[in-house]
Amino acid sequence: MVERIEEIEAEAKAAIEAAGSVPELEDARVSYLGRKAELTGILRGIADLPPEQRGPVGSTGNKVRKALEAMIEAKTDGLKQIELEKSLAGDRIDVTLPGTPARAVGHIHPITRTRRLIEDVMVGLGYQVMEGPEIEHDYYNFTALNHPAGHPARMLQDTFYVEHEGHVEEVLLRTHTSPMQVRAMEATPPPLFMIVPGKTYRRDSDATHSPMFHQVEGLAVGEGITLADLKGTLLAMLREIFGPDREIRMRPHFFPFTEPSVEFDVSCFHCGGSGSLDDGSRCGLCKGIGWIELGGAGMVDPNVFGFVADSGYNPDSVTGFAFGFGIERIAMLRHGVGDLRLFFDNDVRMLGQFS
């Protein structure tokens, strides 16, 4: 019987060594150590053996069973490691490689790029960049900017009013970035040099107007600031944006919150300000005028300082200038885009041209 156990051991060891996979090894385990295996049967039948055989058969049988179990366990670990390495080699993926085909990298929207350009230029001139609420009180949007009651700009067709606690015409979507003039002066004593880029809203929609559009407001307040400072600031800013050869001009205009008020133009960067191109044809960009209209500006009306006199803005001691213009207008001119709405359709074929 002991010899038979030793034969089984030799057979089993050969089968375990020959197993090339985890399932094959499992088959060997069932054959030699399973419930129906010969060795299991021998060990189970020890009690039926003659007494003098029970000891040797029992100890040999158990020793062989333990040895085979240990051998299978060691072999299992080895096979699992080999199979893991095989599957890793077969499914090798380098997640750091670009996809195929490589995804196109997006870029910043042309309106945002234009806004950042303007911010960079003005920060370079010593201005700070401020932001303000898009939902605004009538007081900041109109009243404190010297819009008397009944001013046409307050009319419902121009302004999106927000119903607030049952009242209309007290809260609105700001129609310009100018409310931040008053808010900034309330918060900061003079001297103040700031710009406010941001979204504004009006009930207007065509090729050059959108119900939502972006403006940049500028405000400089201190002692002895004059219209000449305004002109020099606008010239420095527009030369950075449109090129060092640009000139500007200012034309008298009217705004409720500046006095005197002007509109400002930049000389056409397409025709060099002559109004005609090299072949003698009329310049389409400036329509032959040589100037491109850009925005409004002026000296801060003393009445506006009156609303913030308690914050240190005594109209008798400080003066200042303000200006405002549309970011879309600058982007349209810089990129030759004829319809403002294209910026907001978010057609990547259009936006992708400005990468």
Interface residues with Zn ion (CB under 5 A) are: 268, 270-271, 283, 285-286
3-class state of residue 160 by DSSP: coil
Between 225 and 331, whose beta carbon lies closer to Zn ion? 331
How is residue 43 written in tokens?
Answer: 């060990």
Q: How far is the CB of 251 from Zn ion (least distance, A)?
A: 17
Helix (H) or strand (E) holding 321: strand 319-326
Q: How far is the CB of 297 from Zn ion (least distance, A)?
A: 22
Look up residue 3 and give its amino acid: E
d(CA 18, CA 24) in angstroms, rounded, equals: 9
Between 174 and 246, whose beta carbon lies closer to Zn ion? 246
| Beta strand pairing call for 128-129 and 192-201 | parallel
d(CA 255, CA 295) in angstroms, rounded, equals: 12
Between 13 and 270, whose beta carbon lies closer to Zn ion? 270
Q: Please, what's the b/e burial string for 50-74 (b: 16 or more CB within 10 A of its CB; e: otherwise)? A: eeeeeeebeebbeebbeebeebbee
Q: How far is the CB of 275 from Zn ion (least distance, A)?
A: 6
3-class state of residue 336 by DSSP: coil
Q: How far is the CB of 188 from Zn ion (least distance, A)?
A: 40
Between 201 and 291, whose beta carbon lies closer to Zn ion? 291
Helix (H) or strand (E) holding 8: helix 2-18
**CA-derived radius of gyration, the chain:** 42
Q: How far is the CB of 245 from Zn ion (least distance, A)?
A: 13
Q: How far is the CB of 291 from Zn ion (least distance, A)?
A: 8
Between 242 and 321, whose beta carbon lies closer to Zn ion? 242
Query: Helices 2-18 & 51-90, crossing angle to 10 degrees?
Result: 0
How is residue 276 written in tokens?
Answer: 């005609």
Between 210 and 267, whose beta carbon lies closer to Zn ion? 267
Beta-carbon count within 10 A of 185 CB: 26
Between 251 and 287, whose beta carbon lies closer to Zn ion? 287
Q: How far is the CB of 260 from Zn ion (least distance, A)?
A: 27
